[in-house]
Amino acid sequence: MKKLLTGLRSGKILIRSTNWIGDAIMTTPAVRTIRENFPRAEITLLALPWVADVFAASPHVDRIMLYRKNGEHQGLIGRLKLVAELRRERFDLTILLQNAFEAALITTLAGIPARAGYTTDGRGLLLTHGVRLPNERKKLHQVHYYQELLKDLDLAPGLDSLFLQVPAASREWAREFTDSLGAGIYGGEKLFIGINPGASYGPAKRWPAERYGGLAGWLSRKLHARILVFGTEADREAAQVIAGWAPDHVTDLTGRTSLAQAMALIERCRVFVTNDSGLMHVSAALRTPTVAIFGSTNPVTTGPFSANSRVIRKDIPCSPCLATHCKADFRCMHEIGSDEVFAAVKDLLQSSGRPAGGA
């Protein structure tokens, strides 16, 4: 395989980001590795709008191009418009962290001469630097999955730690917002606990809202914590259920924050309790102590990549099934009690030396 480094020390590189928040965060070590291997290159990240905030304050990319797949780049005409936009940039190299055929086709049509990525989705002939995906690699955590791709491209490996920088304006907004809320005091700081009851992949990943409500009851009675409920508008009903268990202690943020604002608020939480979701990876990247509840998915490959986390799951024969909907009795989630999760929250509060409020 031809080495990517040849002649590209100061060239123009396009990174095609993955499409979901959690996946994008798990690529942040790989993006840093690319920057370290091409320190003088101009690096552009092509990303869907809803993941752009993951990289908005990153020092590892120079700029972000938005792929408005549901807007101006929709349909055949829209895709050709994107191709034309990329062609005008005259990129020397693209590294495709996103695995789909479309990513390789668009960059090929854009005339980018060097195109690197996994030969997944039948796109091998479109890549000048294709990497075969061994079955064993599919069993690795996604952080290693992307880093191994770069090793196979003969790039020097960098650190595996996640990287997420909260924009300064969002951090200041979060400080002012939390200063306006009442909360209990723990370790000399206001005690904010984040709860994330949603998960976009499907209901099989969601711990029941009533169990989150029971947890909110424990947190309010025992710790007088202010509970911040995160999520999209689709999680509003779950947030209302949770608030019913501790109406004076819950702030419903579902559908009310941008990703950058949610990141800044998660940074201010002393503990974040969550399903396997994009915001779980946000919490892990920000080093917020994290309690992650797993059922249908596999924490070995997509768990929180943080030593400051606790994964709670039950060893059920059918788990992980990787299904979006449970075809049995949802036992993997129903056997996890609110008291068990509360105990994990207390353990993290007692063992974590991280101060509230972020950096």
Q: What is residue 4's predicted lDDT score, i.e. its pLDDT?
A: 66
Residue type, 231: G
Q: What is residue 202's predicted lDDT score, i.e. its pLDDT?
A: 72
Q: How is residue 34 written in tokens?
A: 């690319």
CA angle 262, 330, 318 (to 5 degrees): 105
Q: What is residue 355's predicted lDDT score, i.e. its pLDDT?
A: 44
Compute the distance between CA of residue 188 and CA of residue 204 in angstroms, rounded to an integer.
38
Q: What is residue 320's predicted lDDT score, i.e. its pLDDT?
A: 77
Provide the 10 A C-beta neighbour count for residue 318: 14
For CA atoms 265, 270, 275, 280, give the dihedral sign: positive
Confidence (pTM): 0.92
CA distance from start to end of the chain: 43
Q: What is residue 322's predicted lDDT score, i.e. its pLDDT?
A: 67
Give the strand pairing for 189-190 and 185-186.
Answer: antiparallel
In this prediction, the residues of the chain whose per-residue pLDDT falls under 50 are 354-359
Q: How is residue 178 written in tokens?
A: 């939390």
Q: What is residue 293's predicted lDDT score, i.e. its pLDDT?
A: 94
> Can you list the domains of the chain with their CATH numbers?
12-152 (3.40.50.2000), 168-351 (3.40.50.2000)
What does the buried/exposed string (b/e) look like for 27-45 if buried means 16 or more CB atoms within 10 Å of the residue's CB?
bbbbbbbbbebbeebbbbb
Of residues 201, 209, 203, the one with CA closest to residue 229: 209
Q: How is residue 184 written in tokens?
A: 């209990």
Compute the distance between CA of residue 176 and CA of residue 226 in angstroms, rounded to an integer.
15
Contact 227, 352 (CB under 8 A): no
Provide the 8-state DSSP code for 287: T
Q: What is residue 244's predicted lDDT score, i.e. its pLDDT?
A: 96
